[in-house]
Amino acid sequence: MTASMGALSLVRRTFGVMKENGPAHILSIGTIAISFFLFAAFLLLPLNLTSLLEAWEKKVQIILYLKDGVEEQRILQLTGELQKEGGIREVRYISQRTAKESFERDLAGYGGVLKGVKEEIFPASLEIQMDERFRTPERIRALAARLRTIQEAEEVQYGGVWLERFSLFLYTLRWGVWILGGVLVVIIVSVTANTVRLTLYNKKGEIEILKLVGATDAFVKLPFYLEGGLQGLLGAGGSILLLLALFHFFSLKVAPYVSLYFGELRLSFLPPAMIAWILGIGVAAGLLGGLLSLRKAAGI
Amino acid sequence: MHKDGYMIQFFKVYKTYPGNIKALADVSFKIEKGEFVFVTGPSGAGKTTLMKLIIRMERPDQGEILVNKRNLSRIKHSQIPLLRREVGFVFQDFKLLNNKTVYDNIALVLRALGYNKREIPKRVRQVLRVVGLDERVLRQPPLKLSGGEQQRVAIARALANTPSIILADEPTGNLDPELTVEILDLLEKVNNLGTTVVVATHNTGLVAHYKKRTIPLYRGEMAA
């Protein structure tokens, strides 16, 4: 009972302290919220871009264009050999005729643009679909390289070059997030420390009296630690709410248009564990800010 | 008087501030429980340093200080609040929090010392009566009161935790002669209730008027 009353009184004193220095605290919490918003947004970005990458990887297929004059029997043999290969789910033979028909279908709206074009100019090819677990840029690249060594292969194409680049971009982004996170934590600690220092300065007279009448160090200092921690928590919480609002806006208003160009987008928000981490980092950075400001105010 | 009857004892105490500023040198004295003592001397004599040493705001360079049987050279940092709870401090400039009411100025101390929430209003009114202030001042900020009333509030705050000792550093320095007598009478009344009172002052007329024991200081040393 006494402990809970003590905790309640501590919370009340902390809020009292924060209320007295209201504008500075609002500014500080706002700055922390913006810093965390940037961090959380940069966490959210690779999270969703990864799912986009996975969606695109599913669509990736390798096309092996055959040299002219490869006999039907050899093509059937090649198809059979490739289907036995690990990681390949399906091999579909596209003859010159099928290729031309497909092209005609695609250009149906353009009238007789293909009139008179012979089917010989369309190369026969093998369309190779891969198993899901083999749809990584590295494996696709390795398979494509091996297919190029087939004697009958004229050319091997896959949409992997830009996928690889995108994957590299994501990798860089993920590392960038942590570097950015580190910089932002330093900013948050410094912002909190300065606000707590301002409060300390404003409360100098009161602290002096409390120390003189025999208040314990804990009684004097705890509200300032708590003030720092609370600022961090409110800032981090605010950033999550802001990001959530923007995420919903993007999901409802923007994502449908993006899906038109890039295929179905399955957007996901930060998982609860990550949110808990962000809030935890907020509290820890705030507490550290409080601690640093109290250390600097050595007389207190 | 028996050794246990002393409230404050200084044994060959020295204190020098950075820059080789000598504040106290070879100061020894004893103050009995329930005694009223003046520490006298001009500005810079070391009166404030002496007061600060009693509540461990400063540490001596040499010598021993005993306050209510506690050896201040040996007490741990965590025990300093316990020492200070036995001492009430009154300042020349009152050191009241002007953004709080009179009630809150006194209640703040009681809250810090862990008084029960229900006990605090009773205790605040009680000490206010001791210093002769009306309950109507409770909701007012200190700056709305006269200098004498403000010093009474400061004394009430010092008395709030029923200390064994009251240290008053130039408590009448900002007051006119009439109020000076009022405040000193009040401190005498507090002393009559059993509290040891130490008043630092440069006002020789005041010392002569009250006929109490004096500890005279001059340039940090005990004057003859």
- Predicted local distance difference test score (pLDDT) of residue B122: 94
Phi, psi angles (nearest 5°) of residue A130: -110, 160
Of the three residues A158, A174, A198, the one that is the final residue of a domain is: A158
Structural contact between residues B164 and B83, judged by C-beta atoms closer than 8 angstroms: no
- For residue B56, is it within any domain? no
pLDDT for the residue numbered B4: 55
Q: Does the structure show a pLDDT above 90 at A118?
A: no
| Angle value at C-alpha B187, between B181 and B188, nearest 5 degrees | 85
Q: What are A163's two structure tokens?
A: 């996928």
- Range among A62-71, A212-221, B156-165 with highest mean pLDDT value: B156-165
Q: How far is B31 from chain A (nearest CA, A)?
A: 21
pTM: 0.67
Say if residue B168's pLDDT is above 80: yes
Q: Which residues of A touch B52 (CB under 8 A)?
A: none
Q: What is the mean pLDDT of chain A?
A: 81
Among A3-7, A63-67, A244-248, B21-25, the least confident range: A3-7
Q: Is the pLDDT of residue B74 over 80?
A: yes
**What tokens does A268 get?**
């996901």
- What band does A1 get if pLDDT is binned at 50, 70 and 90? very low
Q: Is residue B152 included in any domain, yes or no?
A: yes
| Domain co-membership, A180 together with A267 | yes
Closest CA to B223 of B82, B92, B47: B47
Co-location of A41 and A169 in the same domain: yes
A143-152, A290-299, B26-35, B84-93: the lowest-pLDDT one: A290-299
Question: Among residues A271, A251, A207, which one has the least CA distance to residue A44?
Answer: A271
Percent of chain B at pLDDT exceeding 70: 98
pLDDT value at position B1? 46
Question: Considering only CB atoms, which chain B residues are within 8 Å of A209?
Answer: 95, 97, 108-109, 157
Surface-to-core class of residue A249, CB atoms within 10 Å of its CB (0-12 exposed, 13-18 middle, 19+ buried):
exposed
Domain span holding position A196: 2-56+164-296
> Distance between CA atoms of B72 and A148, rounded to whole angstroms?
89
Domain stops at, among A158, A173, A193: A158
Is 60 exceeded by the pLDDT of residue A299?
no
Q: What is the pLDDT of residues A20-37, one digit of tens each?
A: 777 877 888 888 888 888
Residues A262 and A118 in one domain: no
| Residues paired with residue B66 on neighbouring β-strands, in sequence order | B9, B71
Structure token pair of residue B212: 């109490």
**Is the predicted pLDDT of residue A6 greater than 50, yes or no?**
yes
Same-domain pairing of A169 and A43: yes
CATH number at residue A139: 3.30.70.3040
Which among A282, A287, A294 is positioned nearest to A221, based on CA atoms? A294
Asked if the model's pLDDT at residue B2 lies above 50, the reply is no
CA A218 to CA A209: how far, in whole Å?
15
For residues A76 and A47, membership in a common domain is answered with: no
Residues of B in contact with A217 (CB under 8 A): 78, 81
Which structure tokens are listed for A156?
């091997």
Residue span of the structural domain in which B115 resides: 94-162
CB contact under 8 A, B112 and A214: yes
Q: How many domains does chain A have?
A: 2
Here the ipTM equals 0.85
Question: Can you tell me the distance from the alpha carbon of B166 to that of B211, in angstroms, rounded to the nearest whole number?
Answer: 18
> Measured between alpha carbons, how far is A130 from A61 in angstroms, rounded to an integer?
7
Q: How does pLDDT run across A235-262, given as a tens digit for each residue?
A: 999 999 999 999 888 888 877 776 666 6
Does the pLDDT of residue A55 top 80, yes or no?
A: no
Q: Which of A130, A158, A186 is the last residue of a domain?
A: A158
* A31/A132 same-domain check: no
Number of compact structural domains in chain B = 1
Inside any domain, residue B107: yes
Do A140 and A263 lie in one domain? The reply is: no
When pLDDT is averaged across residues B35-52 and rounded to a whole number, the result is 94
CA–CA separation, A82 vs A88, rounded Å? Answer: 7
Q: How far is A25 from chain B (nearest CA, A)?
A: 19
Instruction: Examine the domain organization and report whether A75 and A151 are in the same domain.
Output: yes
In a domain, B151, yes or no: yes
**Closest Cβ–Cβ partner in A206, A208, A214 for B81:** A214
Per-residue pLDDT of B3-16, as tens digits, reads 458 999 999 999 99
| Contact: B108, A210; criterion CB under 8 Å | yes
Q: To 10 degrees, what angle do helices A272-296 and A160-202 make? A: 40
Retrieve residue B163's tokens.
Answer: 């200390």
Task: Note the pLDDT of residue A24.
Answer: 76
Q: Is residue B3 part of a domain?
A: no
Q: Which of A134-148, B80-94, B108-122 has the lowest mean pLDDT?
A: A134-148
Joined tokens for residue A143: 């398979």
Q: Is the pLDDT of residue A113 over 70?
A: no
